[in-house]
Amino acid sequence: MKRLNKTRYAILGILTQRPMSGYDIKKEMDESTQYFWQESPGQIYPILAKLLREKLVTCTNSSTSGSRVRNIYKITATGLKELKTWLAQDVMHPTPRNELLLKLFFGKNSADEINHYHVKKYHQQLKNKLKQYEQAYKNIKHDPSEHAPYWLMTLKYGEKILHAQLEWCDEILKRI
Amino acid sequence: MKRLNKTRYAILGILTQRPMSGYDIKKEMDESTQYFWQESPGQIYPILAKLLREKLVTCTNSSTSGSRVRNIYKITATGLKELKTWLAQDVMHPTPRNELLLKLFFGKNSADEINHYHVKKYHQQLKNKLKQYEQAYKNIKHDPSEHAPYWLMTLKYGEKILHAQLEWCDEILKRI
DNA sequence: TTTCGCATGTAAGCTGTTACATGATTCC
DNA sequence: GGAATCATGTAACAGCTTACATGCGAAA
């Protein structure tokens, strides 16, 4: 089973919203998908060039507007088709690594103050994240985009998980 | 901020249970940490050799027992010290990628039957996983190891998350 | 004028997986 | 005898991050 490049689909997907530059794509992801999908510029630019060669996107060089040069990419009909094909394919669910759990699993070798500290700190970070989710929720609710219902589903997922994680922290902190 | 190799600590941590061969380490992880940490043989063997060179483990070649050759690795005092240092260091919490959420985020470009299918299938897989967790829970409860309380904490985490994920699936399946 | 954000890209390097190679032993 | 499992390893390469290089325009 070969691994296939999902970055290309993430980029194509973002481009269904509107034509964008590589820089815009990065920013867009930082504002919307950052809790379950991130890309670095070192990935985006080379893959954008590849997508262009494969004619899945077109590029208009907007140097005409008097301001600085920006490469604006737009998804093509072929690109949209390729995206839809991928969307219909079965999803892989690899178990992500969790460093906190690994440390806790070996917790016997550590002082319990240390184990407690790790969980406590995690708890604090989760609470901050939850606030950001609540803010994002407000923003999307007023978004008239047709995509909004789907965005809400992914947000809902994050919230549910966060609450479960917070509950777990509370229980663990009582134990150690 | 450089990334540091966590595989070495996973291996050292497993070796605190008892001396083991590379093969055993793999099996041990498959049976205990597989829901939050996995390693492939292609990682384990080279890193074991490296740990040996750094004197964090020792190796006794048990060809004497008449059976086939097995390299049994044992953690040294230095190795244990290195493990403990790592255990005390702050934990990084990178957001793992989630392909299902990415597809759902782009769900507007897909038929809703497809979106529904993905979530439904995920739901089924989660239910199977939950059964495995319940089995693992029973096994650990009867384990007299001093590590057992910590193992239970990681298991608890998995259960909490699973329930949250299942709930989310139920809600989403009503919507699409 | 100098700093910051915009904007695009490249190169190096690490992590980790997959696939392959090899051969012994045990069980049916 | 043949299959499955035990057991150790290597090579190729995909994927991704980090750091770096470059330069424009706007604002302070």
* Residue burial A128-161, b: 16+ Cβ < 10 Å; e: rest: ebbeeeeebeeebeeeeeebeebbbbbbbbbbbb
List, for residues A16-53, the tens digit of each pLDDT value.
999 999 999 999 999 999 999 999 999 999 999 999 99
Q: Which of the four pLDDT bands, split at 50, 70 and 90, describes residue B63? A: low
Q: Does A167 touch chain B (CB under 8 A)?
A: yes
Asked if residue B108 lies in contact with residue A150, where contact means CB atoms within 8 angstroms, the answer is yes
- φ/ψ (deg, to 5) at A16: -75, -20
Q: From CA A105, how far away is CA B150, in angstroms rounded?
A: 5
CA triplet B44, A97, A135: central angle to 5 degrees? Answer: 160
| Residue of A101, A125, A157 lying closest to B154 (CB–CB) | A101
- A 10 A CB-CB count for A63 gives 11
Helices (H), chain A: 7-15, 22-31, 41-53, 77-88, 99-105, 112-141, 148-175
Among B25, B109, B122, B163, pick the best mutation site for testing chain A contact (most A Cβ within 10 A): B109
Residue B61 pLDDT greater than 90, yes or no: no
| CB–CB contact B110 A84 (8 Å) | yes
| CB–CB contact A160 B165 (8 Å) | yes
A contact residues 18-37, partner B, Cβ 8 Å cutoff: 32-37
DSSP helix/strand/coil, B131: helix
Residue A141 pLDDT greater than 90, yes or no: no
Output the average pLDDT for chain A.
93
Residue A174, min C-alpha distance to chain B (Å): 12
Residue B69, min C-alpha distance to chain A (Å): 29
Q: Among positive and negative, which fits the CA dihedral A131, A134, A139, A140?
A: positive
Burial of A71 (0-12, 13-18, 19+ CB in 10 A): middle
List, for residues B32-58, the tens digit of each pLDDT value.
999 999 999 999 999 999 999 999 999
Please state whether beta strands A71-75 and B57-61 pair in parallel, antiparallel, or not at all (unpaired): unpaired
Q: Does A166 touch chain B (CB under 8 A)?
A: no
Q: Which of A33, A31, A15 is nearest to A139 (CA)?
A: A31
Asked if residue A147 lies in contact with residue B104, where contact means CB atoms within 8 angstroms, the answer is no
Q: Which of the four pLDDT bands, split at 50, 70 and 90, describes residue A121? A: very high
Q: From CA A166, how far away is CA B41, in angstroms rounded?
A: 35
